[in-house]
Amino acid sequence: MSGRGTGPAAVVTGIGTFTPLGRGAADTFDALCHGKSGLRRPPEDHLLAGTVDVAGIAPDISAGEVLPPSEGRLVDRFALMALAAADDALADSGIFVGRDVDPHRVAVIVSSGAGGLTTYEAQSLARAERGPTAVSPYLLPGMLPNMAAARIAIKYGIRGWSSAIATACAAGAHAVAEAARLIRYGEADVVVCGGAEAPLNPTSALAFHHARALAQRWEDPEAASRPFDRRRNGFVLAEGAGVLVVERAGLADARGAAGYADLMGWGASTDAFRPTAPRPDGEGAAASMRGAIATAGLTPDDIDYINAHGTSTKLGDVAETKAVHAVFGDRSPAVSSTKSMTGHLLGGSGAVEAAFCALAISRGQLPPTHNLDEVDPACDLDHVRGGARNQRVRAALSNSFAFGGHNVSLLFGEPTTREKRQ
């Protein structure tokens, strides 16, 4: 490795995921490495039944599983999934706010691209059907995009920096980048960070469908998401949440906590091109990757793996490929897109995929891109396909790009804590 950025090391000590592959980061990563898909046809009792052919549907969860009865009224699904992921991440880290760390030195940044759209849609329908009195006063805390972060802070007594970043499909990655900044610049010792999205309602799905963004005409739903494949024709809409506990490595060492990976660098840029399309040359994506490598104090030669944004769209996958070549030249790091098995979790995707990068470093194992049967010649990278690849990962990039031209890249490296996760 060429070096590390200045400032305290930020290490991932806890991971929680809630995705179409189930709840629990370890089991989910195992499923990815075995090529298991979480995509399916919506059942007849689901909101999306008859609207889309395939979706990434996460497990059921009720408010009572993550909140006391007095707090569970009209809580949107995105916040419930975020709470479940945060519960798991904090338990995994072993940190106790108020015992191991001053609550004012703990931050929470959990983002969402859209917040509680399903709750808003249900309340709008209720008003149309039953009149003004049908609208609940709990609608506002149910739909606001900051409510996942707020509820996590309330539940765990977190008193420091708290926010939610609404940058569409880059929102979860932006939250993790902000966690790195807070720790590097001494503004927090621990950050609970990530993203969540619950977009599986008819209005959202129809908007993406009419924009010709969704995969369609696949008899087998598990075959629908196929990043970088010649036959790809759109992404699969999915829901879920990912939360990381990132802390100052010195604190982790002091309490004997093991690290999965260091959060070493971040980069962000804006395409300033079109609201819903990336720059065809991938220049914005390349800039965010270069920024992440620079803030980590590394060079492109240090990067062994990229978890690609790789949504399975015609334009996006080619633009990302061009960006990788712009940064790495003819030497492509190993690349995979786990959206081939989870679908696209929109604002939750960046955090979930950041978790996958940390696990890849910890385990020395790269998950494959599912359904990559015939690589598009315009997507000529070192794809992990046909099964997981076992190799040491010194450093990994996680890419997230979004409507509006938002680009974020996160860089993870081998942990600097005395204890390592196995």
Catalytically active residues, by annotation: 169, 309, 344
Which residue in 389, 387, 60 sits closest to 200, CA to CA? 60
Round to whole Å and give the CA distance between 392 and 24. 23
Nearest 10 degrees: CA dihedral of 48, 51, 57, 62? -10
420 close to 259: Cβ distance less than 8 angstroms? yes
246 close to 191: Cβ distance less than 8 angstroms? yes
- Angle made by CA atoms 207, 212, 213, in degrees to the nearest 5: 80
Backbone angles phi, psi at 62, to 5 degrees: -110, 160
Q: Which amino acid makes up residue 43?
A: P
Q: Residue 362: count other Cβ atoms within 10 Å of its Cβ.
A: 22
